[in-house]
Structures are given as C-alpha cells and as structure tokens.
Amino acid sequence: MRSFLTAVFCLVAIVGAAIAIPAFWVNSNLVDRDGFSDMVSPLADNPKVQEHIADEITAEVSAAAPLIPEALIRPLAGAYTRGDNFEADFTEAMNQQHDWLFEEASPEDKVQVMSLDLTPMVNRIIDDRIFGGIEISGPIEVPLTDSAAAGLEAGRYHDLGDQIGYIAYGSLVIAVVAAIGGLAVARRRGLVLAAVGFGVIFGGVLTWLMGDFAQRRALDEVSGADGSAREVADLIIDEVVDSMQKIGLIAAFAGVALAVAGVLVTVMLERRR
C-alpha cells in the first residue's frame, strides 16, 4: 500500500509540475499586464523597432498631411524614436494591444480590427520637435490584421486568461502537495525528488514546444498587417517566444539536476543500509 501511494503521489507531482511551468510563465508574462509590459518594453531600444516605427509614423503623417514633405517628417520621427520619451510611448502602445486581447470587449470593439495607435507618438513629435501646444485628435491607427474575424478580435483571450491563472496556481498547489505526500510515505525519498525532477523536465520541454507553436500561430494572425507594422509585430513575437523558450530550457536543465540529485540521494541511502 505504501509503494502504491508513493507511486500515485509521484505521478500526480509529475503531471502537476509539467503543467505548472508553462502555465505560470504564460500567466506571469502574457496574461499579466505588468509582466507583459516588462518583457516587451526593452524592445524600444532595438534599432530595428525604432526604424520601423519611425517609418510608419512618416508614412501615416505623410498620408494625413501630404503638404508636409516626407524629407522633413522622417528625420523628426527618427530623432523621436531614438529619444528618451520613446520607450514610455512604445510601452503604452504595447499595453493597449494587451488590453485589446485580454480585457472584456465592448460591443463597439467587436466589429473593429486590432490596430497600433500612433496618435500619442505623433503628438509627442509635434510637441517636442515642431510646435508645442498643437495636438492631433486622431486617431492615427495602423491595422495589425485584415479583419475583425482574423484571430485578433477584441477580448479574444479574456476568458482564457482567467482560466490560465487558475490552472497555474492550481497545478502548482497540486504538485507541491503531491511531492510532500510522496516524501511523507515513500521509503526511498530520493526517488520522489527524481520524479518531481522529471515533471520539471517535461514542463520545460512543453514550454519550449508551446513557444514554437505560439510563434507560428501568432505570425499567421498578424499576416494581414502591412509594412513596418508587420515588421514590429514580428519582432515582438520573436521576443516573446525567445523568452518563453529560454525559460523552457532553464526548467529542463533544472529538472535534470533535480532528477540526478534524487537518484544520487537514493543510491547513497541504499549504500548505508
């Protein structure tokens, strides 16, 4: 009976750990607004992002005000994206995209397409580098998809985000309780540690694979965007997936270390008997 309970606790701990690792990463870095903001805000220092945003601002302003020469707009836009205020404006724009996907959608939003709002950035350029006190009411928006039904509709992940939070904390609690239960009843406690290590390995591998799947899915969903907006979206997706897969690899190596430690503890205790 004791061996059976140990096996059950180990199996539950493995499953719980394997689920908890990817679920916690997604909950902390994608569902959580602050976590997402912290992850993508460093992209404001990426020269490619700065160039793409400057190009998009130039194109949109030129289209809205054709009398203003593009040769005047582009240097101002480039100076802005390399300036101190760009990171805050870029982060706020990314937070708006997060809110679009994870907050409950209003009836009006359900028929709109996901867009990058450049209005605050344009107004910042006007205020800082051209004529202070003048403000464009906008909106100056760049669509990131070609229709409201293309996969990036407003509120798409609202319910899923809540569910991921429950899964993350629930699986963690289950894994911890099962591991403690296994240690309490097991004759060879090192094997319980090894089992938890295998669960962490599976969780790391699952996290890495989910990143690969998410990348292909996300790139497909923003395929309707054009020009610089598409390039920026691709860079953001690459950054998110890279972070996710790094955590997956770290978790897998940590799991290997824990599994090896568990086996070594078992061997050492067996030799003492």
Q: What is the pLDDT of residues 140-172, one digit of tens each?
A: 777 766 554 455 777 888 888 999 999 999 999
pLDDT at 230: 79
- For 10-29, letters b (16+ CB in 10 Å) and e give bebbbbbbbbbbbbbbbbbb
Note the pLDDT of residue 273. Answer: 59
pLDDT at 169: 94
Nearest-angstrom CA–CA distance, 162 and 18: 19
DSSP labels for 225-267?
--HHHHHHHHHHHHHHHHHHHHHHHHHHHHHHHHHHHHHHHHH
pLDDT for res 68: 72
Which residues have C-beta within 8 Å of that of residue 246, sequence separation ≥ 6? none
User: What pLDDT does residue 146 have?
Assistant: 59
Calpha distance 257→85 (Å, rounded) = 44
Specify the length of the chain in residues.
273
Show the low-confidence residues of the chain (pLDDT under 70). Answer: 109-111, 127-138, 144-151, 224-226, 270-273
pLDDT at residue 130 in the model: 58
